[in-house]
Amino acid sequence: MKTILKYAPAPTTGRRYWRSMDELSDTPEFKDWLQREFPAGASEMVDEQSRRSFLKIMSASFALAGLGLAGAGCRRPVENLEPFGQQPKDYVFGEPEYFATAMPTRNGAIPLVVKSYEGRPVKIEGNSLYPGSNGSTDRYAQASILNLYDPDRAREFKHDGKVVSREDALSFLDELSKKFTANEGEGLAFLAESNTSPSRARLQKIIAAKFPKSKWFTYDAVDSGIHQRAATQAFGQSVRPVFHFDKAKVILSLDSDFLGGEDDVHNHIRKFAAGRKASAGMNRLYAVESLFTLTGAGADHRLRIQAKAIREIVSLFAQQCGASGGAGGIGGGVDVKLTQDWITACAKDLVAAGKDALVVAGHRQPLEVHLFAHAINSALGAIGNTVTLLPVTENSNLDLKDLDSSATDTLIIVGGNPAYDLNWSPKSKTVVRLGYYADETAEKSNWNFAGAHYLESWSDAVTSDGTIVPVQPLIQPLFNGLQELEFLARFAGEGRALSYEIVRDTFGGSDEAWKKFLFNGFATNSVVQPVNATFVVEQTPKIDVSVTNVPSLEVIFYRDAKVDDGRFANNGWMQELPDPITKMTWDNAVLISRKTARELGVANGDIVEISLNGKTVTGPIWTQPGMADYSLGLALGYGRERAGRVGNGVGFNAYKIFSGKYIETGATIKKTGGTYTLACTQHHWSMEGRPAVREANLEEFLKEPKFAEEAFHGIEPPVTKSLYPNPLDEAKKTALHQWGMSIDLNACVGCGTCVIACQSENNIPIVGKDQVLRGREMHWLRIDRYFTADPKKKNNPHFYDFKADENQTDENQQFAEWIDDVQAVNQPMPCQMCETAPCESVCPVNATVHDQEGLNVMAYNRCIGTRYCSNNCPYKVRRFNFLDYNKRPLSELKGTMYSTTLTHSTGEGWVDGGTNKEWDLFRWMKNPNSGMRTEDEWDLIKLSKNPDVTVRMRGVMEKCTYCTQRIEQAKISQKAKAGASDDVRLTQAAGNIPKTACQQACPAGAIVFGDVSDANSDVSQLKALPQNYSVLGDLLTKPRTTYLARIRNPNPAMPDYHEPFSTEEYENASLTKKGNS
């Protein structure tokens, strides 16, 4: 009998919220939806192919299978082992090799060590040899390896849409070079993305000398060159600022998302975390911002104000910090008194910190704000201490407006994607383009050269501290792509045109030094020494605007945390990574504050049209807690049309109304009437009264250091003795190690690097938006982001008793006033490795059991997919592979679950609309291993897999393993080294404790893994700290992963001084519970 579900009836009075018109009118269709497990037709076949043809194929395949059984099918397939003809020197088959290289970024580089198996790079890690580095990376570097194996990368050289050979394309380049040598480069222009390669700069000079009339334009869709421009102007010499967050005691961020959206974020996070150790001397962060960013989430005090108003209030800071400045004011429709007090108290704190203070302005802010920031730093004496200035050579900065007039004959585009992010259209006779993707720009270019990935190229780069690092190739260009340096050298007519020779020539020096350079991954002693410079007072801008506190709508364009400026749009890992703040996957949205949404009458998912300067763009609304009123946040980088199978049509393209200014006013917004479903992985906007995250202010922590365990005893009972013996007690006596993990919530900023590192290490597939909406994302490690709010703003007295409160749905919370000024907490949540794991006792087939070292292991080949374990896991860290995601074609990422037709296009069919189709069944019979994936996808995707980790199939439960493959590898190599001796234990003293992928990647060093049976190990010492606690410890699961509580350091003199909201929430929750019972 069908179960008739009762759905919560909407309240009959007051405002009603609904998902569809059907729900509003309570139609039979809507009721049917509620009652069926799957929507009508989902479990039936409604394909364009008829059932009859399906049966025909099936019978044919059974006949074939029968033949196979009778014939060759019964035999074991013959597998061949093919050794080398000539053994390569020092190569051990089966063991990984590591090479030092670097990922070039716009204004720097990230030094890397890349792991390679049998000549294919599989995992990117930071170079821990690099001075001052903790071997961490950012999430872009972690994800960049997937771009290497992207089936949609440019594979061919094309001329006017026709494929030409590499040789023909290169000889065309030679001819072009000859032609422009004759006329000295008349009518020739280059358009390139900025990078720091000294070799490219050298080639650029050669080109400029050879083609004197040519022009070189550099551009970035997301430009953070303002830091250098402002510093150069402020200090009267060519310099760029380097911020030392580790030395700063009081930091003021003026719309600077230095922990999230700025350049060189992994260094900033590392330094910031270093200064934020929970102790009396920890730093304090003030953030003034409009978008809710990771910096705002990590701040002790946050001022929510429109981005354009920051330009006006910054002089108030300057005045009170002793720097000269014009009149300012408070605008943007905020509480003037509160803001005034906020600024006064904050400025006092800055002055008190003196040279240990640091003011940073964000790249979206105009020049004046940056100059004021330098003025304040200078007045406080911070220059030379928390801000140092590195000398730079000024690049000639040509205005892009002159691009079309310069490139009358030929435009050469190197990298970038101007047709997408610059609204560029060709005006030249010939456009030659070297690009990694066959993207929007490729479509408009005459000649397309397939580019090479940085892991396939020789190059060099300069990091943010001025160190020169090599970019070494790990693999030959997969599709014979052309490297940037070779492209430029060929055009310049250089004799030594191999990229290796170019880089070698640039480096100079002895062969020994060169080898050392490549081995270390950086040139020793190449750090640039900071210069002494003083602030030029005349540069203080005068802001004499008459500020009116009347709100007007502003639009903020920001660099996306996942797809950057669009360059990672076809990277499935990035698309599926929940945004650090919104937790949204596979989309961008129009971020808006609760109040503004109310005034405009829009709700989550409503599609709106935004008009700006006569251009329009449409996108869905998302109410963002903590967002400034009358600001709209638009993430750049989405809405790609020719990104590839993954990125096409994901989100909307904010570049359509972007004109190079990141903050624009005068936008209008109107509802189009449509709605759109957004795949957000963490809807619930409050802690629901559960003390998963524990926080305290610094004073409280110093008074009561063990608050994390003790202060919460009112809510959860103190851990008592279990009736049953701990099953690990016996094993603990003999096992060599006991593994454990400590996660420092005080260090974690929630950037998401660990999630991508885990995905890369553990062969975790992507599932697509539709599956995310069904809660089937596969991330073994998730970052829970909780918003907590001032309980006084919550009107409902029983708010925390969430079971009784039907109003606390996500639909309702988006309009609750409490979400205006929220605090956010991030909590990475991998498998907790409970010693008494609830998942184990319910598995009917013993597929998940403990090993002697405390790991809760998963034997995939035993799992039969009952999912009882997942049901019984209080931390919800188990993931089930529903649809064989590793073998699902990329074309199905966007469809619904059962959208599969029986035929699929082959090869590049996705481009031509899928005219070349092939029966899935035939494809499967040809190659049963690849599933329904097209050949090009399969060939590349399988290269990207880590051979140390099983690629799990459908119907199998999986979860975090503490990177058991790394543990085993470390143990095995130690045992092999020990031989006939007892030196088999991994110890911290010997430095052979393995690092998990998440720990290795974490810029903040928030995750520490190690042996808890060794009292001297880092992890044991962290677990002995007073602020250590277990999540849901009252369940007596005895998790091996424990957390260090977060310590906030707010200033008691501030008007918004507060206890952590979450603490108040628990207290209220326990009161409510007691009151009810």
Partner 1 sequence: MSAIFPKWTNWLPLAVLVGAGLAGAGVAVGVTIYLTPKYYRVGYQPTQPVPFSHKIHAGQLGLDCRYCHSEVDKSWVANIPSASTCMNCHNQVLKEDPRLALVRASATNNTPIPWVQIHITPDYVYFNHSVHVTRGISCVECHGRVDQMDQVHQEKSLSMSFCLDCHRDPAAHIRPTDKVTDLGWKWDSDPIKAEQMQQTYGAKFVHDWKVESLQSCSACHR
Q: Where do contacts with partner 1 occur on this chain (CB under 8 A)?
A: 76, 78-87, 92-95, 735-736, 849-853, 855, 857-862, 948-950, 961, 964-965, 967-968, 972-973, 975-982, 984-985
In angstroms, the CA 973 to CA 979 distance is 10
How far apart, in whole angstroms, are the C-alpha atoms of residue 768 and residue 17? 28
User: Could you count the other beta carbons within 10 Å of the beta carbon of residue 512?
Assistant: 8
Look up tokens 């470390």; give the residue.
970
Closer residue to partner 1, CB minimum distance, 116 or 675: 116
Map tokens 């053994």 to a residue.
Answer: 87
Nearer to partner 1, 1 or 74 (CB): 74
CB 637 within 8 A of CB 563: yes
Q: Which amino acid is at 281?
A: G
Cα 288 to Cα 295, 542, 580, 673, 825, distances in angstroms: 10, 21, 19, 34, 18
Name the strand (E) or helix (H) holding 67. helix 51-70
Question: At residue 130, what is the residue type?
Answer: Y
Least Å distance, CB 519 to partner 1, is 21
Minimum distance from CB of 942 to partner 1 (Å)? 12
Count other Cβ atoms within 10 Å, centred on residue 51.
11
Q: How far apart are CA 674 and CA 621, in angstroms?
A: 11
CB of 855 to partner 1, least distance (A): 6
Q: Which is nearer to partner 1, 866 or 950 (CB)?
A: 950
Q: Which is nearer to partner 1, 64 or 978 (CB)?
A: 978
What angle separates helix 336-353 from helix 310-320, to the nearest 10 degrees?
50
**Nearer Cβ to partner 1, position 984 or 1053?**
984
* Cβ-based neighbours of 775, under 8 Å, separated by 6 or more: none
- Residue 144 beta carbon to partner 1: minimum distance, rounded to whole angstroms: 25
Q: Closest separation between CB of residue 952 and partner 1, Å?
A: 9
> Tokens in use for 84?
């080398």
State the minimum distance, in angstroms, from the CB of residue 74 to partner 1: 10
User: Which CB atom, from 8 or from 92, has the smaller least distance to partner 1?
Assistant: 92
Q: How far is the CB of 85 from partner 1 (least distance, A)?
A: 4
Whole-number minimum distance, CB 859 to partner 1, in Å?
A: 4
CB of 984 to partner 1, least distance (A): 5
Half-sphere exposure at residue 911, Cβ-oriented, CA atoms within 13 angstroms: 14
Identity of the residue numbered 974? Q
**Is the alpha carbon torsion for 149, 151, 152, 154 positive or negative?**
positive
Task: Determine which helix (DSSP H) or strand (DSSP E) holds 101, and give its type and residue range.
Answer: strand 97-104
Q: In this complex, which beta carbon is closest to partner 1, that of residue 915 or of residue 929?
A: 929
Nearer to partner 1, 82 or 511 (CB): 82
CB of 462 to partner 1, least distance (A): 38
Residue 856 CB, nearest approach to partner 1 (Å)? 10
Give the H or E element holding residue 968. helix 964-978
Determine the Cα–Cα distance for residues 882 and 890; give it in Å rounded to an integer: 16
Handedness of CA 610, 616, 620, 623 (dihedral sign): negative
Instruction: Please give the angle made by the CA atoms of 406, 407 and 408, to the nearest 5 degrees.
Output: 100
Minimum separation from the CB atom of position 833 to partner 1 (A): 12
Q: What is the 3-state secondary structure (H, E, C) of 741-801?
A: EEEECCCCCCCCHHHHHHHHHCCCCCCCHHHHHCCCCCCCCEEEEEEEECHHHCCCCCCCC
Smallest gap from Cβ 962 to partner 1, in A, equals 9
Which of residues 177 and 856 has its CB atom nearest to partner 1 in the complex? Answer: 856
3-state secondary structure of 1006: coil
Min. distance of Cβ 780 from partner 1 in angstroms?
Answer: 13
**Are 997 and 1006 contacting, i.e. CB atoms less than 8 angstroms apart?**
no
Nearer to partner 1, 860 or 882 (CB): 860
Our CB check for partner 1 shows the closer of 233 and 852 to be: 852
Nearer to partner 1, 807 or 852 (CB): 852
Tokens of 706: 């063990």
Nearer to partner 1, 973 or 1021 (CB): 973
Nearer to partner 1, 248 or 843 (CB): 843
Least gap, CB of 939 to partner 1 (angstroms) = 18
- Compute the distance between CA of residue 360 and CA of residue 375 in angstroms, rounded to an integer: 11
Q: Is 97 helix (H, G, I), strand (E, B) or coil?
A: strand
Nearer to partner 1, 280 or 976 (CB): 976
How far is the C-alpha of 551 from the C-alpha of 666, rounded, in Å?
11
Say how many C-beta atoms besides its own lie within 10 A of residue 233's C-beta: 15
The Cα diameter of the chain in Å comes to 92
**Cα separation of 821 and 827, whole Å?**
20
Cβ proximity to partner 1, 44 vs 95, nearer residue: 95
Least distance to partner 1, CB of residue 96, Å: 10
Q: How far is the CB of 498 from partner 1 (least distance, A)?
A: 23
CA-to-CA dists, residue 142 to 123, 270, 537, 597, angstroms: 8, 16, 43, 36
- Round to whole Å and give the CA distance between 577 and 227: 29
d(CA 1065, CA 845): 41
User: In this complex, which beta carbon is closest to partner 1, that of residue 688 or of residue 851?
Assistant: 851
Three-state secondary structure call for residue 827: strand
- To the nearest whole angstrom, how small is the minimum distance from the Cβ of residue 918 to partner 1? 27
Q: Residue 1016 in contact with residue 247, Cβ under 8 Å?
A: no
356 versus 761: smaller Cβ distance to partner 1: 761
Helix (H) or strand (E) segment spanning residue 251: strand 250-254
Query: E-assigned strands of 935-996?
Result: 957-958
